[in-house]
Amino acid sequence: MLNFNNICANQLIEAEAQSWDHILSYLRPSCIKCAIQLGIPDILHKNVNPIMSLSDLIAALPNLNPSKTTFIPILMRVLVDFGLFKYHQQQGDGYSLTSVGRLLVENDLSGKRSFFLFAQHPVVLNTASSVGDWLRDDLPTAFETAHGKSHWDYCGEEPEFNGVFNDAMAGDSRLISNLLITDCCAGVFEGLTSLVDIGGGTGAVAMAIAEAFPRLKCIVLDLPHVIGDRKGSGNLEFVAGSMFDKIPHANAILLKWILHNWDDEDCVKLLKKCKESIPSKKNGGKVIIIDIVMEDYCSNEHLVQSQHLMDLLMRITYASKERTEKEWEKLFLDAGFSGYKIITSLGLRSLIEIYP
Residues that are catalytic: 260
**Cβ atoms within 10 Å, residue 20:** 10
State how far the alpha carbon of 325 is from the alpha carbons of 136, 288, 293, 343, 348, in Å: 32, 15, 6, 12, 14
Give the integer Cα–Cα distance in Å for 355 and 344: 18
* Bridge partners, residue 25, by sequence: none
3-state secondary structure 278-338: CCCCCCCCEEEEEECECCCCCCCHHHHHHHHHHHHHHHHHHCCCCECHHHHHHHHHHCCCC
Distance CA 173, CA 181 (A): 12
